Amino acid sequence: MARVAPCPSGPYVKRECVMRDIWRMWQVGLAAAALGAMLFGTGCATSELGGGEVETCRSNDDCAGELVCNRQTGACISIGGGEDGGGVEPEDTGGVTEPDAGGPIEEDAGGGGVPDVRVDPPDMGPDVPIDPDACTPGCGFNESCVNGSCVLDNVPCSPACEAPGYCDNGACEYPSCAAEGDVCDGNVPDQGAYNCLTDLEEQRSRCFSKCDNLYEASNCNPGKYCLDPVSNNPNIKVCVDSSCSVDSDCASGGQTGTCVEFSNGFGTCYPDGPVGVGAACSGANGCVNGAVCQTTGGTSGRCRTTCDPWASRSDCGGGDRCVIFSPRTGVCAPVADVTGTESGDTCSVPGQYCADGVRCFSTSLSNQCYQYCRPDLAGRGDCPGSTSICHEYLFPGQRDLGICQPECMNDQFCGGGSRCVTGRCRSVCQTGDPVVDCCGGTTPCDWTCGASGLCE
C-alpha cells in the first residue's frame, strides 16, 4: 500500500492535500461543511478541484450532460460511464499514489500522514420528484385519489333518485323544500315554510306546507286541509292532500272506507269495520261502509249513516235529522227537536235539530233555530233572504262553518263589547285576556285574541 507524504502547513496548501482532506471528510459524513471550509478557508479556488468549475445543484435537472447531483455535497459529479470506467478523478498528484479502494487503512509510519483510504461518494438514488397530489396513506375500496385527498368513486344510486334529488356516490341527496310534494330529506323535518314528513303509504319523505289553523283550509291550497298528522307531535300542522270525494275513492288493497268531506275540496277516508249502524262504537272501531262513529263528547258513540246536510232533502228516515259531522258531511241521528222545525223558529232543547242542518241554540232572549252555512260560498250562500249573512266567528277556531245571522249595519246594532265588522258582530278583546273578553270568565276557553284585537 502506498504511503502519502504529510501536508505542509502555512497559508498555501497543495492541491493534493485538499483532495485528500475532501475524501476523508466524506468518510465521516461531513462532506458539505468540509468542502466549503477547505475551498474558501484555505485559499483554493473551485477550478483547482478538477480543472474547471464544479457545478452546484439541488437535483439532477441542474446538472449538464451525464452528470448527476450529489445532494449531500450539492455538486454535480460523474458516477462512471466513461471508456475507462472512471468517475471524477483528481489531477496529477505529483507522484503521490492514491489509496487502494479495496485495501485496509494504513497510516504513515512516521505518524505525519493521513489515512490511506478511498471512499466513493454515497449513492443518493435517482432524483424522483415528490407528487404533492399523492394520497398518503393510500385510498381504500371505492375511493380514488383526487388532488391529494381520497374521495368516493361515483357509485350509482339504486333505485334512481327522484327529482329534485341527485345521486352522490350511491346516496340520494335532496335540496331544501321549494314546493309541496317535493321529495326531501326526512332527517331535516323543519324546512322554513315546509315540513318534511314521511308518507307512510309511499315510504318516502315529502314537503308539506305549514298551516296555522287546525281543521281549517284558510291558508292551504285547494284540495288540502290543515291537520296534525304526526301522532307524537301535535304541534306539527301541515296542509294535507285530499284522499277522496266519494266512498269508492277509499278502496285500496282490499280495504274499503267511507269518505268524509271537509271544506276546500278536501276529503279523508274512514276505514270500514264490522260495527253496524246504531251499534256502539269508538274511534278505534270502524263502522260498516257508508257509516261513521258519531261520538257524544267522548270517545264512545254510535255508528251513524252519512248524509248531506246541504241538500234540500236528506236521505234520513224515521224522523232522524241530518246533523253536522264535518264541515261538509252529516250523519243521520234521532235528535229532532219537538218544537222548532225551521230556521228562525223558537225551539225547546239547545243542541237538538229543528231540521236538516238547522240547530237549536240558546240566545240571551230565548232558544232559537239557526241554520248552518258554508262561509266559502259566494254571496249569502246558504243563508235565506236578503238580510242574513253567514257568520263564521261564532265558534272558536272554526272558520269552515258558520251560522246564518242578521247582517249588522253599525256597532250600535251589536251592543256593548262588540263591533260590527263586514256585517258581522265581533266580540272585542278589551283586556287582551280571552277568558275575560271572549268566554265571559268561564274556563276552559277555546277562544283567542287575534291580531285584529277581536275574539277568534
Same domain, yes or no, for 63 and 109?
Answer: yes
Closest CA to 1 of 101, 91, 121, 85: 101
Asked if residues 394 and 426 have their Cβ atoms less than 8 Å apart, the reply is: no
Which amino acid appears at position 32 of this protein? Answer: A
**pLDDT at res. 286:** 87
R_g (Cα) of the chain, nearest Å: 50
pLDDT tens for the chain, 456 residues long, are 333 344 444 333 333 433 344 334 334 333 333 333 333 443 333 333 344 455 577 777 778 777 777 766 677 777 654 444 444 444 444 444 444 444 443 444 444 444 444 555 555 555 555 565 688 888 877 777 888 888 766 677 877 888 888 887 777 888 899 999 898 988 899 999 999 998 777 788 999 999 988 888 878 999 999 988 887 888 899 999 999 999 999 998 888 999 999 989 999 999 999 999 999 998 766 899 999 999 877 778 899 999 999 887 777 988 899 999 999 999 999 999 988 888 889 999 999 999 999 999 998 788 999 999 998 887 778 887 778 899 998 888 778 899 999 999 999 998 888 999 999 999 999 999 999 999 988 888 889 998 889 998
pTM of full prediction above 0.85 = no
Both 381 and 357 in one domain: the answer is yes
70's CB contacts (< 8 A; 6+ apart) are: 31, 57, 76, 77, 121, 122, 124
Domain-located, residue 150: no
Cα 4 to Cα 18, 66, 111, 192, distances in angstroms: 13, 32, 11, 92
* Same domain? 399 vs 268: yes
Query: Looking at the domain assignment, is residue 148 inside a domain?
Result: no
Q: Please report, to the nearest 10 degrees, the dihedral formed by the alpha carbons of residues 378, 379, 383, 385 taken in order.
A: -150
Instruction: Give DSSP secondary structure letters for 79-116.
Output: -S-STT---S-----SSPPPPPTTS-----TTS-S---
Domain count of the fold of the chain: 4
Cell of 296: 257524544
Of 96, 124, 152, the residue that ends a domain is: 124
Residues 235, 253 share a domain: no
In this structure, the strands spanning 358-362 and 367-373 are antiparallel
Interatomic CA distance for residues 262 and 236, integer angstroms: 20
Give the pLDDT score at 303: 95
345: in domain: yes
Assess whether 297 and 191 both reside in one domain: no
The packing angle between helices 15-27 and 31-41, to 10°, is 160
CB atoms < 10 A from the CB of 307, how many? 23
Please tell me whether residues 368 and 349 are part of one structural domain.
yes
Domain encompassing residue 366: 249-409
Cα 260 to Cα 443: distance, rounded to the nearest angstrom: 31
Contact 405, 370 (CB under 8 A): yes
Are 312 and 264 part of one and the same domain? yes
Query: What is the DSSP code (8-state) at residue 351?
Result: T
